Amino acid sequence: MKGSNWQLGQTVASKARESFLVGLEALRQSIDTELVKGSDTIGSFLRRGLTIISYNLLEAFVAERLVEIATHVNAGFGHFSDLPDRMKRAATQELLKVANSQLQWSGDDLSSIVDFATSVGESLAASSGALRLSPLMWQWTGSNMSSEDFHRALRLFHVKDPWDTIKQLAARIGASLPDPKSTLVGLARERNKCAHQSSYSVSNLFIRAVPNQVLLLGLGADMSISVSANRIHQADPAFYGDEKWFHPGRVRFRFVSERKGKWAEIVEGRARAIRVSADRDAAVKDAIDAARGKSEIVVIQNTARQTLDWTHPEVP
């Protein structure tokens, strides 16, 4: 990303987030090339392809991050009997629907099919013991994720108002996404038109806005479900009892901001840095250590306040 030597995805262990951020940077760089900006048929062809890829980046990130989230949840203290009814239904009845749908889209490799069926079966068999939730319970039955699927996943993590939450979280890190729902609906619509209409035209104005939109949608979803997932990990009865438990007020940000070759750690709402370091990695580590156990999210930003990476220390 311009204005920084930061290598995307190096903050924490999330491979899903690393792939997402690296893919977004490649998308940005591609959009800036003369071939993509061209008004000829080549430019039009490339912009259609990048529109499809950009939506797939978000879709893949959500699915892959849910796998990591499920691993964290299942390593916790909860039992299936602790879950509220809505989660129990998602972990059983709705899981079967998603699994059946994904099986229809899978290939013919018998070994992969057996592994898939075994994983789903083990999750269903754990309905009387410790949690062994399948990430499929939060996923979708269609071939692509819709805005309704995205909203449903966040609501299953007890996010009060997913669209308003993403809007507020974006604003608090210095970004703007006034209408997340309409943005995601529009991205999905453009993706489908590009995939099925060979002569569909995507403007340079539209494609230039896409990387930031995809980033903020993915970032807001990840922040929300990561904080909620840790409450499931802890088997928190207050969380289980409140389907609108997560809202933006549940978290505070701790920024690691680039300043003229140095990195300043700043707690949200304060003007002065807690500490400043010439060593980027040390600054990030110190911020993560300080945020641990405080319902804080560490956000790394460059001199232009562009978000380079983020993490909730309890669910990296």
What is the model's pLDDT at position 11? 52
What is the model's pLDDT at position 69? 98
* Residue 255 domain-assigned (yes or no): no
* Residue 275 domain-assigned (yes or no): no
The per-residue pLDDT for range 210-253, each reduced to its tens digit, is: 999 999 999 999 999 999 999 999 999 999 999 999 999 999 99
Residue 294 scores a pLDDT above 60: yes
**Mean per-residue pLDDT of the chain:** 94
Give me the half-sphere count of Cα atoms (radius 13 Å) on the Cβ side of residue 52.
14
* Residue 239 domain-assigned (yes or no): yes
DSSP conformation letters of 208-265: HHHHHHHHHHHHHHHHHHHHHHHHHHTT-HHHHT-TT-B-GGG-EEEEEEEETTEEEE
252-259 and 296-301: which strand pairing? parallel
Residue type, 69: I
| Percentage of residues in the chain having pLDDT higher than 90 | 89
Q: How far apart are the first and last CA of the chain?
A: 22
- The closest alpha carbon to 123, from 112, 135, 132, belongs to 132
* Residue 283 domain-assigned (yes or no): no
Secondary structure (H, E, C), 122-142 = HHHHCCCCECCCCHHHHCCCC
Mean pLDDT, range 108-127, rounded to an integer: 89
What is the model's pLDDT at position 12? 54
Record the pTM: 0.94
- Model confidence at 306, pLDDT cuts 50, 70, 90, reads very high
Contacts of 132 (CB under 8 A, 6+ apart): 74, 122, 123, 125, 126
* Residue 301 domain-assigned (yes or no): no
Mean pLDDT, range 284-313, rounded to an integer: 96
What is the model's pLDDT at position 128? 83
Number of compact structural domains in the chain: 1
Residue 80 scores a pLDDT above 70: yes
* Residue 197 domain-assigned (yes or no): yes
- Model confidence at 2, pLDDT cuts 50, 70, 90, reads very low
Q: Could you give the CA distance from residue 226 to residue 315 in angstroms, rounded to a whole number?
A: 6
Q: Which residue has the higher pLDDT, 115 or 296?
A: 296
Residue 77 contacts residue 234 (beta carbons within 8 Å): yes
The per-residue pLDDT for range 10-43, each reduced to its tens digit, is: 455 799 999 999 999 999 999 999 999 999 999 9
The residue segments making up the domain with residue 38 are: 15-244
Contacts of 210 (CB under 8 A, 6+ apart): 27, 31, 50, 51, 54, 187
What is the model's pLDDT at position 254? 98
Residue listed under structure tokens 């840095």? 273
* Residue 232 domain-assigned (yes or no): yes
Coil, helix or strand at residue 3? coil
Q: Give counts: helices (H), strands (E), the chain.
A: 12, 5
Q: Could you give the CA distance from residue 134 to residue 171 in angstroms, rounded to a whole number?
A: 32
Residue 150 scores a pLDDT above 80: yes
- Of 9-23, 36-50, 298-312, where does mean pLDDT reach its minimum? 9-23
Backbone angles phi, psi at 71, to 5 degrees: -60, -45
Q: Report CA 20 to chain centroid distance, whole Å.
A: 8
What is the model's pLDDT at position 102? 87
Q: Using alpha carbons only, what angle is made at residue 86 by residues 85 and 90, rounded to the nearest 5 degrees?
A: 115
Sheet containing strand 262-267, edge to edge, reads: 275-277, 262-267, 252-259, 296-301, 307-311
* Residue 59 domain-assigned (yes or no): yes
Mean pLDDT, range 55-68, rounded to an integer: 98
The per-residue pLDDT for range 67-79, each reduced to its tens digit, is: 999 999 999 999 9
